[in-house]
Structure 1
């Protein structure tokens, strides 16, 4: 049969000017979950509504394509588990390019500029970027039954109008501590202002995404009180490029506490002296996923997007995060329970202002 091809749209000459914050990390989608008992194999095969004959043709064309590439700022372990499950259920290899949002934006912009497209699907946390590209027709509409079938539990209101991008999960971050270096533990962000955690004993992340605007300028002011960031700066914390190296520093004892890590149960189960907790209001960055209109593997991209919002896919991508479906055992909460973002304030200009302020406060 002929492959089903998504309509090609005019390439935009977009190249993000956001600054890079970490080196590119191209990962093979293999491996597992580090032994965390919240990940099981029970949901493999739980691929949601079967869909009609037209969808089955897309699935068969996707299998013929044989592979698909996702660019994502989701956690590496979640992406590895997604790849393992996707290949088990469909026999399609998932190639993963994991990086921070700013770098992913640059990669996708450069590919559009040169006409050398590699990415098929992108998952990132920047609202303005998703809005901009979606409005310019750079995303293909997802057509899978998890989006369209009445039997699906996915809330289709998270599919943003006709721009093609949708919420696939929310990356939930919180505070954590090293139980050897700070045995009293942390109950709130206010506890990070303890003088005993000064002089480089706390770790925080460099702002590189508009999601960080919400975290630093909105969320921390709510839960920590007015002027919280200025007070945190007086602790002279260490700065890390993203949540992953921050969590590694916490586990190694390089720092005693951290302001922006995932829940630490997995690290505990592998013997790391760490713990974490959640306040009454949970911060999370919704992850906006989209199929690129000029995807190299358009059918496999459709199948992957559909898979990501089924129980099997959600148990992977929502591992230690917030799920878009109820009853996902690997998730710590659901997207509807995450604190609302002030999306109007999450602009590229606001990010540049935060970077400048951050640089002044933390001598960056």
Structure 2
């Protein structure tokens, strides 16, 4: 059966960084889902005095801070959730007293804006925090990204989460999102719920034909673990397709579906904290991958030392705790959720090579 591309069932509004407000027939205003945040999430006033004494900083950190203070601020582009941005901004400014200005964009918008600025040689962005590491590689090939070793903490970062150009600083595991009004399961051991006929027509997901490569590894890992027939069975479930992850999880919250894979734990948490009936499940005995968030620095940004300070902050314990209140820390930082035991890094190259196959198997 063909997947359903749902239109007209909900009123959907979207702002420039892809936040979605929805109104369903059953749950209009009760969930607190309406109202998009402003695009520019920066404080327009001074950051204020640092609350962390400089004596508590490492020597490399102190050296970077002295240089960053002369530059006055750091401008960061990100696709991260607002809750993450808020925690990161407060933590960075409290620690250093340097203004952090954050522009939230979805991955496609981020790539378009950064590319336009770079091609015009008018860099406004100092650093990027993005859930699509492949973009960093593309930018680096064009000479737009500086080496991540400019941030001192990179010297101790695990090699498997480090490239010449970026560091993976947060991992958002691919989860099974459920609407708790419609689903009573509280734990799963594997991903078999996705093939259970009782959920036919009740699974929401992202339309792979409308998104970038970063969405494909979630399905690639299921294919590697269970084979093509597993994906074909999912493809018979009359998947309800939406144009982005935020749209999908909002539809889950509104009751347009009972299950959502691959569900962002951070987006789901932001809704459940507002009272939405959304919960995420991770299997206890199955491979798990996730969206990996990379930090990288512009080669020609206007505030290069502040960019290094920001990238460095993302790799120290305090930054890891700010970034990973819901997502997992790649270094299991104290106070941050650890990586799932069966976590496997996404294979972007393989997923890119098999895009058409994955779309076909899932009948999208």
Give the secondary-structure state (helix, strand or coil) at the position aligned to 1:328.
Answer: coil
In the TM superposition, residue 354 of structure 1 has moved relative to its aligned partner by: 6.1
Give the C-alpha shift of residue 157 in structure 1: 5.3
- Hey, what does 1:322 align to over in structure 2? 328
Counterparts of residues 19-98 of structure 1 (less than 5 Å): 24-25=16-17, 26-29=39-42, 50-52=57-59, 56-98=62-104
Kept in 2, the 8 Å contact 1:179–1:185? The answer is no
Cα deviation, residue 185, structure 1: 5.4
Q: Report 1:229-308 matches (<5 A).
A: 229-263=231-265, 264=268, 267-279=271-283, 280=285, 281-308=287-314
Tell me how far 1:63 sits from its aligned partner.
Answer: 2.2
Task: In structure 1, list runs of 5 or more residues that go unmatched.
Answer: 1-21, 31-43
2:40 & 2:328 partners in 1: Cα distance? 23
1:94 is paired with a residue of what secondary structure?
A: strand
2:350 corresponds to 1:345? yes
Unaligned runs of 5+ in 2: 1-13, 18-38, 44-50
**Counterpart of 2:111 in 1: which secondary structure?**
helix
Deviation at 1:292, TM superposition (A): 0.7
- RMSD over aligned CA atoms reads 3.1
8 Å CA contact 2:173–2:264 kept in 1: the answer is yes
Structure 2 equivalent of residue 10 of structure 1: none
Check conservation: 2:118, 2:144, Cα contact below 8 A: no
Q: Give the Cα–Cα distance (whole angstroms) in 1 for the partners of residues 145 and 342 of structure 2.
A: 28
Which residue of the partner structure matches residue 105 of structure 2? 99
Mapped to 2, the partners of 1:355 and 1:98 lie a distance apart of 30
Q: Secondary structure at the match of 1:312?
A: helix
Change (3 A) 1:343 1:179: closer
How far apart are residue 174 of structure 1 and its match?
Answer: 0.5
* Alpha-carbon offset, residue 270 of structure 1: 4.2
2:316 aligns to what? 310
Instruction: Provide the secondary structure at the position in 1 that maps to 2:346.
Output: coil
Shift in Å, 1:330: 3.5
User: What are the residue-to-residue correspondences of 1:197-216 with 2, within 5 Å?
Assistant: 197-199=199-201, 201-207=202-208, 208-216=211-219
Question: Is the partner of 1:139 in helix, strand or coil?
Answer: coil
Counterpart selection for 2:339 from 334, 344, 358: 334
Corresponding pairs, count: 315
| 1:132 to 2:145 alignment | no
Q: Distance in 1 between matches of 2:224 and 2:246?
A: 25
- How far 1:313 sits from its partner (Å)? 0.9
Q: Deviations over 1:321-361 (max 9, x none)?
A: 12122243232x238852133243144x655x368648x92
* Aligned match of 2:228: 226
2:6 aligned residue: none
2-structure distance, mates of 1:65, 1:296:
8
SS in 2 for 1:261: strand
* 8 A contact 2:204–2:239 mirrored in 1: yes
Higher mean C-alpha displacement, 165-174 vs 204-213: 204-213
1:205·1:239 contact (CA, 8 Å) conserved in 2?
yes
2:151 equivalent among 128, 134, 144: 144
Q: Deviations over 1:80-134 (max 9, x none)?
A: 2111111111122222223332322222111112222222111334444333332
| 1:156-213 alpha-carbon deviations (Å, 9 max, x no partner) | 55331xx3222112222210211212224562432123333222x2110133232222
Give the secondary structure class of the aligned counterpart of 2:216: helix
1:108 maps to 114
**Structure 1 range deviating more: 134-143 or 266-275:** 266-275
Take 1:146 and 1:306, find their aligned partners in 2: how far apart are those partners? 6
**Which has the higher mean CA deviation after the structures are superposed, 175-184 or 54-63?**
54-63
Question: CA 1:338 to 1:299, structure 2 compared with 1: closer, same or farther past 3 Å?
Answer: same
Give the 3 Å change call, closer, same or farther, for CA 197–337 of structure 1 in structure 2.
Answer: closer
Deviation at 1:305, TM superposition (A): 0.2
Greater alpha carbon shift after TM alignment, 127-136 vs 245-254? 127-136
Is the contact made by 1:125 and 1:286 (CA closer than 8 Å) also made in structure 2?
yes
TM-score by length of 1: 0.75
Counterpart CA distance in 1 for 2:161 and 2:350 is 20
